[in-house]
Amino acid sequence: MRTLGIDPGTRVMGYGIVDAVGNSLKHVDNGGIFTDSADPLNKRLKVIYDEICGIIQQYRPDVISIEDVFYHKNIKSALKLGHSRGVAILAGTNAGLDIFEYTPTAIKSAVVGYGRAEKGQVQQMIKVLLKLPEVPQADAADALAAAICHINTAGTTNRRKMNEMR
């Protein structure tokens, strides 16, 4: 299963692609979609949409795992985050992909084992789990963590279903 993980944002949207090969994880690619904060929001959202569509076309993921909205003290930031999530979800939906949403706490728990882990801890664990030569950029690490969270969750769900069928 190939999973595209997404860490939403309007300034930087992280993405990470991870393959599940048996019980192993294989890093495929990661990076960030950068927009110019001086541009109007609609233009930034189009950049994000077009880039996500290109990533989907290039890497052909089976599913998308995206970080869910979390509470922001600044409501305007939360709304912009929701817009960026929306265009990423639309890109995946238009490509016929299933979309899975996970809270930041669930993602951190799945990767680090602690839902309130710091960004640096997530980055270090991603480096170890995916055997990367260096620590990934923070937004890309969060996206890779979202992908790993889904792979782990899907594997647990599938094993549970198989046990129930026995």
pLDDT at 128 over 80: yes
- What is the maximum alpha-carbon separation in the chain? 58
Q: Does the annotation mark 39 as catalytic? A: no
For residue 135, the domain's CATH number is 3.30.420.10
Per-residue pLDDT reduced to its tens digit, 59-89: 999 999 999 976 666 778 888 889 999 999 9
- Evaluate whether 4 touches 59 at the Cβ level (below 8 Å): yes
pLDDT at 29 over 70: yes
Q: Is 62 left (phi over 0), alpha (psi -120 to 50) or beta?
A: alpha
From the candidates 36, 67, 101, 118, give the one annotated as an active-site residue: 67
The count of domains in the chain is: 1
What is the pTM (predicted TM-score) of this model?
Answer: 0.91
pLDDT at 157 over 70: no
From the candidates 19, 118, 139, 142, give the one annotated as an active-site residue: 139
CA–CA separation, 49 vs 139, rounded Å?
17
Per-residue pLDDT reduced to its tens digit, 97-118: 999 999 999 999 999 988 888 8
Q: Does the annotation mark 139 as catalytic? A: yes
Q: Does the annotation mark 67 as catalytic? A: yes
Domain carrying residue 66: 2-165
